[in-house]
Amino acid sequence: MIKIENFSFWYSGQNKPSLDRINFQISAGEFVVIAGRSGCGKTTLLNCLNGIIPHLLTGRAEGQVIVAGQPVAEVPVHRLSLKVGTLLQNPEAQFFTLTVRDEVAFGLENLGFSPDIIRERVEAALIAVSIQDLADSFLGELSGGQKQRVAIASVLAMQPQVLVFDEPTSDLDPAGKRTVAGLLKKLQADLKTTIIVVEHDLAAVGPMANRLVIMNEGKIVLDDLPQRILGEKSQVIRSLGLKVPGTMEENHVREGTPEPVCHVETGRNTGKAVLNVDNVSFTYKNGRQALNGVSLELKAGEFLAVAGSNGAGKSTLAYLLAGLYQPRKGRILIRDRELSQLRTVELAQEVGLLFQNPDNQLFCATIEKEVRFGLQNFKLTEAGEVIIWLLNSLGLAQLSGRHPQAVSRGQRQRVALAAVLALQPKLLVLDEPSTGQDWGHLQEMMNLLAELRQRGTGILMISHDWDVITGYADRVIVLEQGRVIFSGTPRNGLAYCGL
């Protein structure tokens, strides 16, 4: 089905290849997972399979890539799409319509399928990823995880021979990860679909694969059965900064019985409050209530995690704290001042927001300019040593002259974080910061945040990653349908959620 022969690829302006003499084959019906550190060439490899490289992203290539008996370089992208379906790392980058149903139908309509077939396939795809109740929703009103499911449904509706997924579970809650993993396995088993998945979370899809491929610096360093690599060769995995399933927090101690009402525990006492959210509610223009009577407090130097299923209201809360939305009810205080009364320049130095999708806040020509932009934009004194410290701490120093969109999703996430931290905000709001991060870089990021909290920064982190929550947070609140249903220690929150 897929054959790659001695293939190397250099992006324009690069001296070092992003792919270096790749040789491997994938047979029809195989389920292959590709893993590796951020920036090691995984997404570049996928783009060589679907024709994005060389038809849309140009550079210098050697060797060849063959899909279904045809050289990718000789087949137009629109023809390849009939054979290779792609889920991009950023699902929003492949949206073309306004509503969920229209988006899932878009590809089929463009290929001229009959209305009956389109309706049948759209409904089946929506049901497959459990979003049939969102069919008439606007894409702009969905959570990151819900958008991920829409993108997956759009690919499934096309019924291609090969499915190429770039981080398909990255924005999903634990239930969503299980749903997608089970769906991929079912597609491979029932339809004999060839499935290729790039994924950092090996616990989600690794055990289901026929093969596990590990990349490092543009090369394939391991290619074997998952159980062999994750068992006999697990030390190699760790040395590359990847997390081996079952070795961190996959097997948590589950104590206590979940209660049917909101459960509240007392968190540790730190400094003065940097954030007070008092009975806040928010309703979107379509009438959907995203938050209902949320109250919380965050003190200086405290690390609060916010968990909950996709669509529970977590990102909406983040937007409210950054002043992007205004509450319909209740009030938000930042260091005892009404958030609504803060001027933009004041708010930017008080609250730093890392979006779930870093591409929403990157727009400069180089990574270094991106990190400096906030200081220059607000005409604040540049702290050169802080910029250097951030670039080094987040593994970006060697990339500082490159365009932000020319690096991996995980690297872009760290660029956006560095740009936010350059303003040295008193309150840091992080929306799924682990997205696209390998375990090694994630630990470096979290250690940096731990250092900031020692300096008095209050941190509110939205996350589905309970390994990170239990490892770094003092407290966790769990949202469900816009309400706080739990507030307490991470381990008790884990037990409360039954994970």
Query: Measured between alpha carbons, how far is residue 112 from residues 79, 116, 150 in Å?
Result: 14, 12, 21
Number of other residues whose CB lies within 10 A of the CB of residue 142: 21
Is 2-239's fold the same as 263-496's? yes
Model confidence over 112-157: pLDDT tens digits? 899 999 999 999 999 988 899 999 999 988 887 788 889 989 998 9
Q: Return d(Cα 305, Cα 289) in angstroms, integer.
A: 22
Cα 338 versus chain centre, distance: 32
* Architecture category of domain 2-239 in CATH: 3-Layer(aba) Sandwich (3.40)
Cα 281 versus chain centre, distance: 26
**Phi, psi (5° rounding) for residue 98?**
-100, -35
Model confidence over 446-478: pLDDT tens digits? 999 999 999 999 999 999 888 899 999 999 999
pLDDT at position 171:
72
For residue 54, cis peptide bond before it (omega within 30 degrees of 0): yes
Q: Domain residue spans in the chain?
A: 2-239, 263-496
Q: Are 318 and 299 in contact (CB under 8 A)?
A: no
What tokens were used for 90? 């950023």
- Residues in the chain predicted with pLDDT less than 70, given as ranges, are 246-270, 382, 499
Q: Buried b / exposed e across 116-138, counting CB within 10 Å, b at 16+?
A: eebeebbeebbebbbbbebbebe
Residues near 406 by beta carbon (within 8 Å), at least 6 away in sequence: 11
CATH fold, domain 263-496, is Rossmann fold (3.40.50)
Q: Return d(Cα 279, Cα 494) in angstroms, integer.
A: 25
Number of other residues whose CB lies within 10 A of the CB of residue 232: 11
Nearest to residue 262, comparing CAs of 69, 485, 488, 17? 485
Nearest to residue 452, comparing CAs of 393, 370, 372? 393
What tokens were used for 101? 């149903």
User: pTM for the whole thing?
Assistant: 0.77
pLDDT at position 382:
67
pLDDT at position 247:
55
Q: Is the dihedral of CA 441, 443, 446, 448 positive or negative?
A: negative
Nearest to residue 354, comparing CAs of 282, 401, 280, 420? 420
Helix (H) or strand (E) holding 66: strand 59-67
Nearest-Å Rg of the Cα atoms of the chain is: 23
Query: Measured between alpha carbons, how far is residue 110 from residues 21, 81, 104, 151 in Å?
Result: 36, 11, 11, 16
